Amino acid sequence: MERVLIFDTTLRDGEQSPGATMTTSEKLRMAHALDALGVDVMEAGFPVSSPDDFLAVQKIAREVKRPVIAALARAGEKDVTTAARALEEADNPRIHVFIATSPIHLADKLRISEDECIQRAVQAVELARRYVEDVEFSAEDATRTPLPFLARVVEAVVEAGATTVNLPDTVGYAHPSEIDHMIGTIQETVANAASLVLSVHCHNDLGLATANSLAGVRAGARQVECTVNGIGERAGNAALEEVVMALKVRSDLAEVTSGVDTRRIYPTSQLLTRITGLHPQPNKAIVGKNAFAHEAGIHQDGMLKERTTYEIMDPQMVGVPASRLVLGKHSGRHALADRYRVLGHELSQKQVEQAYRLFKLLADQKKEILDEDLLAILHYGAMDDIPAHYKVEVLEVTCGGEWSTATVTLMEEGDLPRTATARGDGPIAATLAAVDELVDERIRLEELTIRAATPGKDAVGEVTLQARIRGITFTGRAASTDVVDAALRAYLNALNKAAQARVLEARALQAAGDLWGV
Ligand code: KIV
Ligand code: ZN
């Protein structure tokens, strides 16, 4: 069977979803997980957009060697040269150039003619080809572009050296029959179509992103652009797990297969969830909490008699662990590392040690440690590598009356511990107010979510928050059996990320002068 290439854009289009901002080290962690998942192409970022993005693409290009590493660039000189620089150390670099082609974008956004659009596209592709052999061109808003003009654009960019041409449904407007027609027409009318890989990139505004991607593949597209958990602008992008599993489960219909290791789907989805704090809806296909839960008695009865009565795929096929094995305070390092392996995480010796230390602390507070507890330990503690600019020394809270009061002692790097007491409308508000008094930052808390990781009164509470610090939103997260403590640590996590971002930015700016200026 023919191969369809899976182009993952979790780190670029996905990261553009509100609340999905990732630090460079989080992107790197995700990039390694995507490599293990088996994606063919990984879009690592949009280097010209910020020093942080540049740095993330550069680091991924340096460290992740198997897949093609793509960097996005608008059709302009500075974008293309910056993308090329970020990709310098990649083994398999791709520059992904785009320009909008629809009448509405040409007239109202770019204010250029059709001829000028083609000229810019061709110049950018030619320039990109001077740096790399592998150049992708995207006609933004392709599905609202008249087909004769779209065909002219495609022909011109292929002539200029584009090896992949992507036809995005940028605003999630198309129906599957239109995608089929668009791909078919381009193949029939573009003279040099046989020499290129056609690609689809579908957004989910009408809930059709997966269906449209499959329609594209059926019509002859051989690359699908998608994101883990379907995160992305507005309603998101086509979900990688849905596209891949639809091709696999219905291999009788699909004419292609993907190179994705489907058993890595669930662990990768979980990693992204913990990094971003964006939990897929419970009924989300493949990776939602209830995707394999059978509630109705009649279904349970059927399942017990024959699993396939109500289940079209084995949960283990997508890496959902078979049982929620319980560990306790007497379990050792080996049992812990083994369980992480079953959950899809191969830990380094250092990570095992760190996870074990946190596991023992938790086991003193909880009788049974479930898989969700282990994942909380891993993602909120053992893998968190943000330097602790601020550390909590003491937290004392009184609540229950009209106002709550919190006393917090913080240690700031290079300084002596300082203490503040504040009142608030509840223990979390009081705690965060005390931190505000201690740190020299204006912080706007945009969102705070508390979620129980496990059932029961002794559940671990996971806190995810978005804090705006000096004009940038940072995601803070932490887990603890005490939710006030978790909220405090999540707040400090966001503050530590802001401090680290400033350090990295200063370093990047020093190294690159004022190259970006955008
Ligand atoms: O949706 C879109 O059109 C895009 C392009 C930049 C590929 O994300
Ligand atoms: Zn997009």
For ligand 1, is residue 201 a contact (CB within 6 Å)?
yes
- Determine, yes or no, domain membership for 281: no
Rounded to the nearest whole angstrom, what is the distance from the C-alpha of residue 140 to the centroid of ligand 1?
6
Atom of ligand 1 nearest to the CA of 140: 3
For ligand 1, is residue 340 a contact (CB within 6 Å)?
no
Determine the pLDDT at residue 299. 63
Residues of the chain with pLDDT under 50: 515-518
Q: Identity (one letter) of the amino acid at 232? A: G
Determine the pLDDT at residue 513. 55
- Determine, yes or no, domain membership for 190: yes
Residues facing residue 419 across a β-bridge: 409
The rounded distance, in Å, linking the Cα atoms of 374 and 260 is: 26
| Domain co-membership, 30 together with 62 | yes
- Asked whether the CA dihedral 173, 174, 176, 179 is positive or negative, the reply is negative
The rounded distance, in Å, linking the Cα atoms of 242 and 151 is: 30
Determine the pLDDT at residue 457. 80
- Determine, yes or no, domain membership for 511: no
Threshold 0.95, pTM exceeds: no
Q: Examine the fold and report which residue of 382, 411, 444 is the final residue of a domain before the chain moves on.
A: 382
For ligand 1, is residue 7 a contact (CB within 6 Å)?
no
Contacts of 215 (CB under 8 A, 6+ apart): 176, 177, 179, 180
Q: Which of 372, 227, 205 lies closest to 289, judged by CA?
A: 372
- φ and ψ of 119, to 5 deg: -60, -45
- Determine, yes or no, domain membership for 96: yes
Determine the pLDDT at residue 512. 54
367 three-state secondary structure: coil
The rounded distance, in Å, linking the Cα atoms of 466 and 238 is: 25
Q: Examine the fold and report which residue of 327, 350, 382 is the final residue of a domain before the chain moves on.
A: 382
Q: Which of 2, 462, 60, 38 lies closest to 220, judged by CA?
A: 2
The rounded distance, in Å, linking the Cα atoms of 64 and 92 is: 10
If one counts every other C-beta atom within 10 angstroms of the C-beta of residue 464, the result is: 27
For ligand 1, is residue 15 a contact (CB within 6 Å)?
no
* Model pLDDT for residues 36-65, shown as the tens digit of each residue: 999 999 999 999 999 989 999 999 999 999
| Domain co-membership, 145 together with 168 | yes
The rounded distance, in Å, linking the Cα atoms of 277 and 19 is: 8
| Domain co-membership, 247 together with 327 | no
For ligand 1, is residue 170 a contact (CB within 6 Å)?
yes
| Domain co-membership, 220 together with 186 | yes
Q: Examine the fold and report which residue of 276, 308, 331 is the final residue of a domain before the chain moves on.
A: 276
Residues facing residue 6 across a β-bridge: 224
Which of 7, 43, 140, 169 to mutate for ligand 1's pocket (most ligand atoms within 8 Å of CB)? 140
- Determine, yes or no, domain membership for 271: yes
Give the chain's radius of gyration (CA, Å).
Answer: 25
Atom of ligand 1 nearest to the CA of 100: 3
* Model pLDDT for residues 109-154, shown as the tens digit of each residue: 999 999 999 999 999 999 999 999 999 999 999 999 999 999 999 9
Write out the two tokens for 443: 């912080």
Q: Which residue range(s) make up the domain with 445?
A: 390-505
Write out the two tokens for 16: 């553009």
Determine the pLDDT at residue 518. 39
| Domain co-membership, 366 together with 467 | no
Rounded to the nearest whole angstrom, what is the distance from the C-alpha of residue 203 to the centroid of ligand 2?
6
Atom of ligand 1 nearest to the CA of 13: 8
Nearest ligand, CA 231: 2
For ligand 1, is residue 485 a contact (CB within 6 Å)?
no
228 three-state secondary structure: helix
Rounded to the nearest whole angstrom, what is the distance from the C-alpha of residue 213 to the centroid of ligand 2?
13
| Domain co-membership, 378 together with 400 | no
Q: How many domains does the chain have?
A: 3
Rounded to the nearest whole angstrom, what is the distance from the C-alpha of residue 503 to the centroid of ligand 2?
30
Write out the two tokens for 317: 């096929």
Determine the pLDDT at residue 362. 87
- φ and ψ of 327, to 5 deg: -110, 155
Burial category of 470 from C-beta neighbours within 10 Å (exposed 0-12, middle 13-18, buried 19 and up): exposed
Atom of ligand 1 nearest to the CA of 72: 6
The rounded distance, in Å, linking the Cα atoms of 73 and 124 is: 9
| Domain co-membership, 406 together with 373 | no
Which of 9, 13, 167 to mutate for ligand 1's pocket (most ligand atoms within 8 Å of CB)? 13
- Determine, yes or no, domain membership for 120: yes
Can you spell out the DSSP letters for 58-115? HHHHHH--SSEEEEEEESSHHHHHHHHHHTTT-SSEEEEEEEE-SHHIIIIII---HH
- Determine, yes or no, domain membership for 215: yes
If one counts every other C-beta atom within 10 angstroms of the C-beta of residue 289, the result is: 12
Nearest ligand, CA 74: 1
For ligand 1, is residue 98 a contact (CB within 6 Å)?
yes
Determine the pLDDT at residue 365. 83
| Domain co-membership, 21 together with 46 | yes
Nearest ligand, CA 227: 2
Write out the two tokens for 312: 């079209």
For ligand 1, is residue 280 a contact (CB within 6 Å)?
no
Determine the pLDDT at residue 342. 82
Determine the pLDDT at residue 411. 93
**Length in residues, the chain:** 518
For residue 142, what is the domain's CATH number?
Answer: 3.20.20.70
| Domain co-membership, 272 together with 368 | no
The rounded distance, in Å, linking the Cα atoms of 47 and 512 is: 12
- Determine, yes or no, domain membership for 291: no
| Domain co-membership, 114 together with 225 | yes
